[in-house]
Structures are given as structure tokens and as C-alpha cells.
Structure 1
Amino acid sequence: MNTERRWVIFDLGKVLLDFDFAIAAKELARYSPQEEEQILESINQSPLLHTFERGDWSEAQFFQKLSVECRLEASLEELKKGFAEIFTPVPSMVGFMESLKERGIPVMVFSNTNVTAVDYIRAAFPFFERFDAYCLSYEHGCMKPDTTLYGVAQLMTRCTPGNLLFLDDRAENVHAARQMGWSAIHHQAPEDSIEGVNQWLGA
């Protein structure tokens, strides 16, 4: 008999939290002669951002390099604030995660992210403290869809792949999860994802 607990593993951005890098570009443009569109290219899923989210640079190093690339004249605190305040909760998904916790089902955040975003999210959104585990790219030196990071997440659960269900909005990340033997849902609409999780749990 399989006595392992079943885990539901959530991507963060575009699943539990919506975000818009255009908000950051508009705010950071206050400190630069560059246009918002130029700044957006530097921060929206760019090589600069990915290097930060792999943990290759410290927070100070990232903002120093961003300041050079975007000709920003601002304090570190001003840059952090402008860069991070781009998130809004997805109420139905946050509520569903909370309901899973109430049912005794362990939940994890599994995200490509960075320390600046996580510090802001932790302070701004109390639900972030409710998870049983966190697998964050910058803490482990790699990013989804690198299966190395999926291996780290699986070790955190102490479960076999068949007891893991992952929700992510990016098809390549869902594909990598399935390669690892996990169940996975390509998140597009909250109602469909919620139904899919409940079916997997047998609810």
C-alpha cells in the first residue's frame, strides 16, 4: 500500500500571482533617459534577468549591471522597489491553495525567481508563508526547465514522482515535469486547473 502523501506543487508567477514587467519599466524609467520599451527589454525574461534568477549575481550586482545597461540614476532601495512592485494575487488560485492546506495536502512553491521579488512577495502577501516547502531557482543555481531543479524539488518532498502534481503556465516547464514522472497541468484558466487538481486527488 502506498502511504506517501501527495503533494501539489505550484509555479508562482502567472499561477498564484499575476505580474507585469511593464509596471517596473514605467517606474524605472523615472530614473533613466531611456524609454520604457528599452528598459522592458532589459528586464522581461532577458539574459540579465535569467542570470539573476539563477543566482549567479547578488542583488547588488544585478542592480549595478541593470543601472549601467539602462542608465539608471537611483538608490538601491529605489531600484528594488521599482523592480519588485509588479505583482497582484490571483484570488481563486490563492484560495484554492489555502483549501488544500486545510485538507492536509502539502503544497510547494517551485519558481524561477529572484531574491528581490521573493523579499517583496513575502512582505506583501501573507499567503506566501503558508507553503510546506519552497524550491526557488536563485537558491539552487539553475532554472526550470532544467530537470536538475526538479530533482531538488522532488527531494524536498521525500516522495516518488507519482505522488507529485505540478501546475505551471509554461509548456516547457510542464513537459520537463512529465519527463521526471510527475503529473502536471499546463495552467491557463484557474477553473480548469482547480478541476484538474481535484480530479488527481480523487476529490
Structure 2
Amino acid sequence: MTEIRHIVFDIGKVLIHYDPDLPFSRLIPDETERKRFFETICTSEWNIEQDRGRGWEEAEALLIAEFPEHEENIRNFRHHWHEMVPHAYDDSVEFMEALIDKGHDVTLLTNWAKDTFVEARGRFPFLDRPRGITVSGEIGMIKPDRGIYDHHAATFGLEPAATVFIDDSQKNVDGARAAGWQAVLFQNAKTLEEDLERFGISR
């Protein structure tokens, strides 16, 4: 196995908590109705297009044209977005910063809308600790598409075989492997530390 020289972290659900239910459990208290709202209106497929670079005004207009009776809650998705990311995972952040402090090359690769990432960066200063970040909404590509991994590697001078990627989504892990990277599925900070030790990486 090639020696790992580059470590790439995902952000959402790896370093920062994300849960749309946090505001919507208040906005749509009925669990069945809330589940239907996320499955048929503000779906994951709709939201990922903002991660690909679509603006919120266009995204909201598309849904409001189809579901005018849900206009308020469609707009609430962006309006209450800050509540969906309430805190960082302190143990994951501490581990990442310890790797940086030890001299490991750490970068970030995230599916994230351009404008909400600006907000997140202001709220979570540790996002500026790694050497650099690829934000999907800024470049118009998303994981697990091959192009975003190749773009990140080219931008930061990473050798794919010498790169390990950490993500909470199996399809994104598989995408990294298809691009020639090593990759691990994130479960928690303790398991991650054990997984990286198998690659010869420690804090």
C-alpha cells in the first residue's frame, strides 16, 4: 500500500452536526406530515442541487410553483438553515486539529451550498485550519461524481493513491475509491482514529 501523505475530511456529519428535523420538528410538529414534507417537497434530491451551485431563489421558486400551499415552509428551509447545524463534533475537530499540529497534510472536501458555507465558516473557525477546502457549490460539482475528487486532487496537488478520504456517506466513500483514493466510512471519532492508525496515521 502506498504511504498516505494526504488526509481529506468531509465536513457535514463528520465535523459538524446537520439535521433538518431540528427546526422542522417545531415548524411541522406532526411527525407524519413532516416526513411527507421531506420525502415529497424539500427532498434530499432538491437540496443537493443547491450543493451543486443552484441558488436558493431559483430552488424555492421551483417548489413554490408546484406546491404553493407550502410556500412558507419551503422558504423556511433556508430561513432556518442555521438551526440545522447547531454544533461541531468536538472530538472529531480535536482529532483533525491534532493531525494538523503534527504536520499531516489535511484538506476538506464538502457538498455544501455556496452561501450557507460562508455562514458556516464564520461560525466555525476551525474550518480555516486545514490547508484548503473544496466546496461543491463553488465549483458546480458534487460527490460522489468523479470530477470533484479529480478537481480536489489537482487543486491541492494530491497523489490519489497517497490520499485517504473520510466521509459519513458510503456512496461518497465509494466515489473516492473509484477516483483512486483510499477512503474510510466515518462512524465516530474513536473509530476514525483506529481506522487511520491502520494507514499508519496517528495524532
Q: TM-score, normalised by structure 2?
A: 0.82
TM alignment of 1:16-165, pairs within 5 A: 16-26=15-25, 29=28, 35-41=33-39, 42-45=41-44, 47-55=45-53, 57-68=54-65, 69=67, 71-73=70-72, 80-87=78-85, 88-165=87-164
Q: Which protein has greater RCO, CA pairs closer than 8 Å, 6+ apart?
A: 2
Q: SS of the counterpart of 1:200? A: coil
Task: Please list every run of 5 or more consecutive structure 2 residues that lacks an aligned counterpart in the other structure.
Answer: none
**Contact 2:92–2:188 (8 Å) recurs in 1:** no
Deviation by residue 1:95-136 (Cα, 9 ceiling, x = unmatched) = 111111111222222111112431231122111121211112
**Contact 2:95–2:189 (8 Å) recurs in 1:** no
**How far has the Cα of 1:192 moved from its partner?**
1.3
For residues 27 and 61 of structure 1, the distance between their equivalents in structure 2, rounded to whole angstroms, comes to 26
**Contact 2:114–2:135 (8 Å) recurs in 1:** no
Q: SS of the counterpart of 1:18? A: coil
**How far has the Cα of 1:174 moved from its partner?**
1.0
**Contact 1:10–1:166 (8 Å) recurs in 2:** yes
Task: Please list every run of 5 or more consecutive structure 1 residues that lacks an aligned counterpart in the other structure.
Answer: none
**Contact 1:52–1:58 (8 Å) recurs in 2:** yes
Distance of aligned partners of 1:138 and 1:202 in 2 relative to their CA distance in 1, 3 Å threshold: closer
Distance of aligned partners of 1:44 and 1:129 in 2 relative to their CA distance in 1, 3 Å threshold: farther
TM alignment of 1:179-190, pairs within 5 A: 179-190=178-189
Q: State the identity %.
A: 26
**Contact 1:16–1:93 (8 Å) recurs in 2:** yes
Q: Which runs of 4+ in 1 moved over 4 A?
A: 27-30
For residues 111 and 66 of structure 1, the distance between their equivalents in structure 2, rounded to whole angstroms, comes to 25
For residues 37 and 114 of structure 2, the distance between their equivalents in structure 1, rounded to whole angstroms, comes to 20
Distance of aligned partners of 1:10 and 1:202 in 2 relative to their CA distance in 1, 3 Å threshold: closer
Q: Count how many residue pairs are aligned between Structure 1 and Structure 2.
A: 195
For residues 79 and 122 of structure 2, the distance between their equivalents in structure 1, rounded to whole angstroms, comes to 12
